[in-house]
């Protein structure tokens, strides 16, 4: 039982690309400050993903790393965010959450078998089916009940906007949730946490000045959460890490904005596509054996 708990919490931590059970525990606690259904779904989804992986005989090392928990956790939270925050008494909502968690785990395994980096794409794909499509076509009599964005355009809330962005990664809406999520990542990787704060601000500024996104969406962190995930994926102490985070944040926001215009739920697709592109760029840079000293000499003959 202790091992299962550790694997489950590590899976929660992997939402932010952190292989750390303590981080996962803090993340679960954080979600209760936004809505109790999100807290339950966060833990339950990761547990379902982990148990599914065990039942299907997936590699134990990957299960220990939490690689089959985080997409399932996000998928279950997404279902509750879409249908369950107003009234969670309908058992069909919980069944959808269960199915979304299992399907996302199966998709994750398909990526792992092919040695492909999935990031949070399994969650996005499963929730396009179980959340976006179900609500759009009102399948099973379900419609989206997500509350409208709160008005956070006052000065105090505007200052808190980076923490709202942290909360939005997990569909949260509380600055306390965001602060605890920041703490959870700082426990595992202070560098990733600090880069996350910076990336949220960069992404928000880009969305405001170049894309003209409305102020309340920005204040709610809608265009800050994908850059945070980019930062968690590519944070480091080298100059190239700085470039990856900046470039990735800008791409993530632009991609999210474009997908939103189609009417399709964006979820973390901005982060995913931007990170896939960055991985390709990174592989080329690494193969080229980039030397910043040579660049300095070229620029300063």
Lowest mean pLDDT among 173-177, 279-283, 295-299: 295-299
pLDDT higher than 70, residue 295: no
Q: How far from the centroid of its chain's Cα atoms is residue 120's Cα?
A: 7
Q: How many CA atoms lie within 13 A of 200 on its CB side?
A: 28
Q: What are the residue ranges of helices labelled H in 56-174?
A: 60-64, 70-79, 91-113, 121-127, 134-136, 155-159, 161-168
Segment 91-108 shows an average pLDDT of 98
Query: How far, in Å, CA of 120 to CA of 191, rounded?
Result: 21
Answer yes or no: is pLDDT of 62 > 80: yes
Topology at the third CATH level for domain 1-146: Ammonium transporter fold (1.10.3430)
How large a percentage of the chain has pLDDT more than 90?
A: 91
Q: Answer whether residue 201 shows pLDDT above 70.
A: yes
Within its chain, how far is the Cα of 7 from the centroid?
19
Q: What is the pLDDT of residues 208-259, one digit of tens each?
A: 999 999 999 999 999 999 999 999 999 999 999 999 999 999 999 999 999 9
Token pair belonging to 253: 């926001």
Report the percentage of the chain scoring pLDDT > 70: 96
Structural domain boundaries in the chain: 1-146, 148-301
State the DSSP code for 160.
Answer: T
pLDDT higher than threshold 80 for residue 289: no
Confidence of residue 105 (pLDDT cuts 50, 70, 90): very high
Residue 160 CA to its chain's centroid (Å): 19
The pLDDT of residue 293 is: 62
Half-sphere exposure of 211 (CA within 13 A, CB side): 24
pLDDT in tens, 131-189: 999 999 999 999 999 999 999 988 888 889 999 999 999 999 999 999 999 999 999 99
Q: How far apart are alpha carbons 272 and 232 in whole angstroms? A: 12
E-state strands within the chain: none
End-to-end CA distance of the chain: 63
Hey, do 1-146 and 148-301 end up sharing a CATH topology, with the first three levels equal?
A: yes
The pLDDT of residue 297 is: 58
Q: Which class for 258: exposed (0-12), middle (13-18), buried (19 or more C-beta within 10 A)? A: middle
User: What pTM does this model have?
Assistant: 0.94
Write down the CATH superfamily of domain 148-301. Ammonium transporter AmtB like domains (1.10.3430.10)
């Amino acid at each position: 039982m202790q091992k299962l708990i550790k694997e489950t919490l590590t899976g929660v931590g992997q939402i932010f690309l952190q292989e750390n059970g303590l981080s996962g525990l803090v993340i679960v606690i954080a979600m209760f400050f936004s809505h109790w259904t999100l807290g339950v779904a966060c833990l339950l989804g990761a547990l379902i993903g982990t148990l599914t992986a065990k039942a299907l005989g997936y590699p134990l090392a990957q299960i220990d790393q939490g690689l089959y928990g985080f997409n399932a956790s996000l998928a279950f939270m997404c279902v509750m965010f879409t249908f369950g925050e107003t009234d969670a008494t309908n058992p069909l909502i919980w069944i959808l959450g269960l199915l979304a968690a299992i399907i996302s785990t199966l998709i994750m395994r398909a990526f792992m078998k092919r040695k492909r980096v999935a990031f949070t794409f399994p969650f996005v794909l499963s929730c396009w089916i179980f959340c976006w499509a179900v609500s759009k076509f009102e399948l099973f009599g379900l419609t989206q009940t997500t509350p409208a964005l709160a008005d956070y355009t006052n000065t105090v809330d505007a200052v808190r906007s980076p923490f709202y962005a942290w909360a939005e990664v997990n569909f949260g809406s509380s600055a306390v949730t965001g602060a605890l999520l920041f703490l959870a990542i700082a426990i595992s990787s202070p560098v990733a946490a600090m880069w996350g704060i910076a990336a949220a601000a960069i992404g928000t500024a880009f969305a405001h000045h170049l894309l003209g996104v409305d102020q309340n969406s920005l204040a709610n962190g809608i265009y800050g959460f994908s850059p945070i995930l980019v930062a968690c994926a590519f944070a480091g102490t080298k100059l190239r890490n700085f470039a990856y985070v900046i470039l990735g944040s800008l791409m993530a926001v632009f991609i999210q904005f474009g997908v939103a215009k189609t009417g399709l739920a964006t979820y973390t697709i901005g982060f995913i596509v931007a990170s896939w592109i960055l991985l390709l760029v990174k592989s080329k840079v690494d193969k080229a054996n980039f030397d910043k000293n040579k660049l300095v000499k070229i620029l300063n003959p």
